[in-house]
Structure 1
Amino acid sequence: MNGKPAGGLFISFEGIDGSGKSTQARLLAEALGKAGYETILTREPGGSVGAEQIRSLVLEGDPDRWSAETEILLFTAARRDHLEKTIQPALRAGKIVICDRFADSTRMYQGISRGDLRTVVDDLHSLMIGREPDVTFIVDMDPAIGLARAKARQTSEERFEDFGNDFQVKMRAGFLALAEEFSERCIVIDGARDLGEVNQDILSKTQEILA
């Protein structure tokens, strides 16, 4: 890899629950760090003190705990704090920010899969966030396999997994449609392959961007 991106580089990872995107985000951060890049690995919801507090509100509890409208407001509030406290300072310092989920997840989970609220999500995003990642890797995975993986984690943050397989099928279709809509920044990655093979594919594409 050559040099450091001027003004930093913002990379997000998206995909259905259990797709392996979190693991791939971590592996990319580790590889870039070893190559000499200043890299920040973060996540959504979360990534700052305030956003992590909101994370527990939206990812734990009964599946029907919040309406889709309330979730949009909570996720946007968390994202704004994350942007102010973590993402923007790192990018200004010329670092590479690797984020496990960003606005695309809200577009899918709340904007489409839980109600026809995509316009609301986009309007709030434009008003309060105002930027997209430079690159988005969408890790594609069979919904049944992804859901089984997600449930096997046995964490307290299973609220969205509890919506079931039909929800995940809808989400996968939504992410693939999103990749076409934002084709200038979205790269679809086949997540059904060996872990190392997926990692190498993502690393190779990142090297091309950084070259």
Structure 2
Amino acid sequence: MKYPLFSTLFIVALNLSTPSFAQKSGLPYDRFTGEITQTKSVQTGQSRDKAFSAARAWIRRTYPNYREVIRVEDAGLGRIVFQDQEPIVSESFKSFSYRVQVDIKDGFYNCTINNVKTRNAVSADYTSADADFSNIGMYGKHIDDIGREISITKSKKAKAKLYQQRRNIKSVLQDYHKSHYLMDLQFTMIQNGLREAVLGPGSLAAK
């Protein structure tokens, strides 16, 4: 399901002293691999069949292209898997894709979102988004280095070139932030939507 795009700027720097599992823009990821994996476990107090029916109904309502995105729908196993993509309006990226797996048991379910990939502005293929977070740190360091060069450069022509380089890098960095922000919005929508569908209206307020 497509939602209006939001723009925001997060100033993020990669801190090498942080634990290997940290957060950027609300997305859980491994600092060394960059792999994004978000898992939520929800207690339902319901039978598997009842929760499965509610989750399936929500997914069908939310994704008009349900037949295209669904990969697994196994009531006996209590598992639903679907994959979809969302647009990113930026110079660097066109869209991102993701995989959702919902495993439902008596009394609880787990929802895992992973296999997150991005499609850049010049490619028709999706590639792993794993390197994005480490790239943010690299770009941030490059911006700082250029700033130091600007402070000691005397030539106006050389300074103008450095300023342009810094603007270009900042633009790419903002596109990374935007892509992660939109991923966070989409994944939060999925997690909250499933929870409310299974537990009923007002369940989010009770979290």
TM bucket normalised to smaller: under 0.3
Higher relative contact order (CA 8 A, sep 6+): 1
Structure with the largest fraction of strand: 2
